[in-house]
A and B are shown apart, each in its own frame.
Chain A
Amino acid sequence: MQPRGSEVKGKVVIRGRCIVKGEAVGEALVTKQPFMFPHGINPETGEIIDKRHELFGLNMKGKIFIFPYGKGSTTGSTWILETIRCGSAPAAMVNLETEPVIATGVILGELLYGVRIPVMDHPDTDIFQKIETGDHVKIDAYKGTIEVYK
């Protein structure tokens, strides 16, 4: 059952900037390391295949994927787009700073495949302290809120 409102113990509300509007709920997948989409993910499955990354072997499909910012080549946008085409994309993404590579990939996904993946950045508090992998997270990228349920 879904925890409800401010009466629930362990609920944290974080505010941020809406990069791509939308709503999503899911389990958090959190890393403090920058993430490289090109050759860092298998678009067909959503599995993280960058051996040097701490999330190696985990899967981002359907997760609320939280990482500081992207890195690597400017083809990251079409790697994200292919992940969306294959139905393996995260449910939402939250960054400290979302770069054009990530925003472009998600916008293309919405326009080409009608899949809406909310993206937010500039959180008003230290998200890496407030959110852990496995937490239940609700994103409202219309209002600009990230609700975390411990």
Chain B
Amino acid sequence: MLDGERGEGVRFAMEVVTRVGDIYGAEKLVQISSSHVLGHYSSLHDAGVEMMERFTGSKASFRVPTTVDPISIEPERWRDLKIQSSYAEKQMRLTNALMGLGVIPSFTCTPYECCNVPRHGEILAWSESSAVAYVNSIVGAKTNRLTAGLDVSCAITGLTPYFGLLIPENRFGQVLIEVKKRKLGNLHFHTIGYIIGKTVGNRIPVVTGLPLDAKNYQLKGLASAAASSGSVALFHAVGISPDARNVDQAFGPNELEDKIVIDESGIREAEDEITTSRENPDFVAIGCPHYSIPELIELAHMVKGKRVKRNVEFWVYTSKHVAAYIREMGILQTIEASGIRVLTSTCAVISPIKEWGFKVMMTNSAKFANVIPSEHKIDVYYAPLKDLIEYATKGE
């Protein structure tokens, strides 16, 4: 591939994969089963558009099933969301180039719930930090936390450098996290993830004390928060993760470096720390990571017959295939009847929401709460869904 016999785009991609592999001491390149890539204009910029069009222009294509993260515009309704057409056009060029490469147009950060479902032990080349943490930790697939540009290069070559978390010896635990709180609500999973990320940085945590009947979406929340507040790409939830039936298996030959206890008061402190303002939120945003069907069913139950007040925008982000299912179920209609907007294929982190002039965002997502203040200069009020709905519908 490096000699260009398969075209300029493939040679370019192969050079990126090979050079990154050389730098990080990869002894070989290995075949991947699937890829998940970034394609949002807000971070790829004009340079990312030019890179992607260069691949498409040279007739390169993805060699493995490849899904894509959310994008910077709502494909159908961007005009209603105060997005300028010059900005939307850039995103559409990027989307078209990805389609030219053969991407599965998933536009979601949770592809593992639908159209790109990895298996235990498979080697992948994925980006999107929350998805990487989830598939490494809960599914037991193996991927490094890839970067924009390297992800598409792996997908085009079907290869990835063999280093980091692909090597079994590098996947054992280093830090023990003991969760000492019973009866965990949805928000607690996010908060625990946030504390873990803050505490361990990029070391591999082994987490005990999580309920064995934790829901997938709760673990998704924990994974996204830990990947956002730290750079956790793999954690072991003892009794849940396939490679962590018990603490000994999770640590393998490693010595315990550190032990941290997360209790009721630690969780409360962290929740206070995440909130930056409680002054009259004008924006309520949920669905980070993208809301799943059970979460939307719960939302519909909670908002049925209620109405969002006039001075508050309430948005929920999900994927378009989940939206299609809940429309067929009648759930989407219940949610929309309350005044909540169900937005697909995008999210508040990567889309331009500046035009709305929001001051304080209320959310039940620790990742939103962690990222939004620096991306959009908006304050955040972090609280459980029940409080969000109560606030947004009070007095209507």
Contacts and interface: CB of A to CB of B under 8 A. Distances in A.
B77 to A, nearest CB: 24
B356 interface: no
B180 interface: no
A65 B63 CA distance: 37
Interface in A50-94: 50, 52, 71, 73-79, 81-82, 84-85
A83 B61 CA distance: 27
B20 A78 contact: no
Nearest to B145: A74
Interface stretch (A97-105, A128-136, A142-150): A97-105
Contacts of A85: 45-47, 50
Nearest to A17: B23
B48 to A, nearest CB: 5
A89 to B, nearest CB: 11
Nearest to A108: B149
Interface in A8-45: 19-20, 38-39, 43
Q: Which of B15, B51, B149, B231 has the most CB of A within 10 A?
A: B149
Contact of B147 (A52, A74, A82): A74
B108 interface: no
B16 A78 contact: no
B149 A82 contact: no
B165 to A, nearest CB: 12
Given A39-B374, A74-B127, A76-B147, A107 B50 contact: no
A79 B43 contact: yes
A111 interface: yes
A78 B41 CA distance: 10
Given A77-B148, A77-B150, A112 B50 contact: yes
A111 B12 contact: yes
Contacts of A82: 44-48
A29 to B, nearest CB: 21
Contacts of A73: 43, 129, 371
A74 B38 contact: yes
Interface string B321-362: 000000000000000000000000000000000000000000
A109 B320 CA distance: 34
A57 B149 CA distance: 28
Contacts of B148: 74-75, 77-78, 104
Interface centre among A74, A77, A98 (most CB of B within 10 A): A74
B87 interface: no
A112 B16 CA distance: 11
Contact of B48 (A39, A81, A100): A81
Interface string B8-27: 00001001100110011000
B375 interface: yes
Given A85-B50, A101-B147, A104-B149, A78 B19 contact: no
Given A39-B375, A74-B147, A84 B47 contact: yes
Contacts of A84: 47
A82 B44 CA distance: 8
A78 B47 contact: yes
B19 A77 contact: no
B23 A103 contact: yes
Contact of B19 (A74, A105, A107): A107
Contacts of A98: 23
- Of B12, B43, B145, most buried by chain A (CB within 10 Å of CB) is B43
B146 interface: yes
A9 to B, nearest CB: 36
A148 to B, nearest CB: 24
Contact of A111 (B15, B44, B146): B15
A106 B150 CA distance: 11
A86 to B, nearest CB: 8
B54 interface: yes
28 contacts: A38-B43, A39-B374, A43-B45, A50-B374, A73-B371, A74-B146, A74-B147, A77-B148, A78-B43, A78-B44, A78-B51, A79-B43, A79-B45, A81-B47, A82-B47, A85-B50, A98-B23, A100-B24, A100-B146, A101-B147, A103-B19, A104-B20, A104-B147, A107-B20, A108-B16, A112-B47, A112-B50, A112-B54
Interface of A: 19-20, 38-39, 43, 50, 52, 71, 73-79, 81-82, 84-85, 98, 100-101, 103-105, 107-108, 111-112
Given A75-B43, A75-B148, A77-B149, 19 more contacts: A19-B23, A20-B23, A39-B375, A73-B129, A74-B127, A75-B44, A75-B147, A77-B150, A78-B149, A82-B44, A85-B45, A85-B47, A100-B144, A104-B150, A105-B147, A107-B20, A111-B12, A112-B47, A112-B50
By Cβ-Cβ distance, the 4 closest A-B pairs, closest first, are: A75-B43, A82-B45, A85-B47, A77-B147
